[in-house]
Amino acid sequence: MEEKPCWKSLAVKTSHVLPPDTNAHGTLFGGVLMSHIDDVAAIAAVRHARKPVVTASTDSVDFLAPVKEGDSICLEAFVTWTHNTSMEVFIKAVTEDLLTGDRKVCTTAFSTFVAVDEEGSPSPVPPVYPESDQEKMLNEQAAERAKQRKERRKQSKELAERFGTGFPWDRE
C-alpha cells in the first residue's frame, strides 16, 4: 500500500451550539462534544483507509474551556500514525464566540480506529507520514501513546473480568 501524508485525511466539522445541546450551565454537554469527536475522527480514519472503520479507543478527553450556547465548535481531525490495521487520529476542538471572534482550544483528544473488511475482520491500512513540524511531533510520540493504550486496555479487561455483568448488590 502506498504511504499517505497526514493532511490527506483531514476532516473538519463546525457546528452552532444550540440550546438542546447544552446543560443547566448553558454550556455544551460533554457527551455531545464526545459524539462530535467520534464522528469527525471516524471520517478522518475512513478517508485515510478508504475502508469502513470501528472505534477501538478514545484517550482521555479533557475539557479545557467551556463551549457556550451561541458559540460555534469547530473540530479538526487527521491520522497521525498507523500500525497494521489501526490508525491513531488527533482531534482538536476550537470554540468561538461568534459575536466577538474570541477563539479557544476547548479540547484535544486521540482516538484509535481499526479498519475492517466486509466480514468485520481487521483489514490492513496504508502507512501515514508526517510533513509539518506539528505532524512530526505527534507521529514521533505515537508509539508511546499506543503502548499506554495497550496497558490501559489490559487494565480495563481485568476490571471487566473482576466486576462481571452483575450489579454490586448481587451477592448470589
Kindly report, residue by residue over 28-43, the tens digit of the pLDDT: 999 999 999 999 999 9
Q: What is the pLDDT of residues 125-158, one digit of tens each?
A: 999 999 999 999 999 999 999 999 999 999 999 9
What is the structure's pLDDT at 170?
67
Residue 116 burial (C-beta neighbours within 10 Å; 0-12, 13-18, 19+): middle
pLDDT at 1 exceeding the cut of 70: yes
Is residue 169's pLDDT more than 80? no
Element (H, E) at 49: helix 30-49
Burial of residue 114 (number of CB atoms within 10 Å: 0-12, 13-18, 19+): buried
Q: What is the pLDDT of residue 50?
A: 98
Q: What are the residues facing 11 on neighbouring strands?
A: 77
In angstroms, how far is CA 159 from the centroid of its own chain? 23
pTM score over 0.85: yes
Question: In this predicted model, what pLDDT tens digit does every residue of 112-123 receive, in sequence order?
Answer: 999 999 999 999
Which pLDDT score, from 0 to 100, does residue 119 have?
96
- Using the predicted structure, report yes or no on whether residue 168 has a pLDDT greater than 80: no
Instruction: Tell me which architecture the domain covering 4-162 has in CATH.
Output: Roll (3.10)
Which tens digit of pLDDT belongs to each residue from 58-110? 998 889 999 999 999 999 999 999 999 999 999 999 999 999 999 999 999 99
Cα separation, 45 vs 50, whole angstroms: 8
CA 98 to chain centroid, in Å, comes to 25
Task: Note the pLDDT of residue 150.
Answer: 93
CB < 8 Å & 24+ apart, contacts of 96-101: 96/71, 96/72, 97/68, 97/70, 97/71, 98/16, 98/70, 98/71, 98/72, 99/70
Rounded Cα gap, residues 23 and 30, in angstroms: 9
pLDDT band per the 50, 70, 90 thresholds, residue 172: low
The whole-angstrom separation of Cα 162 and Cα 65 is 36
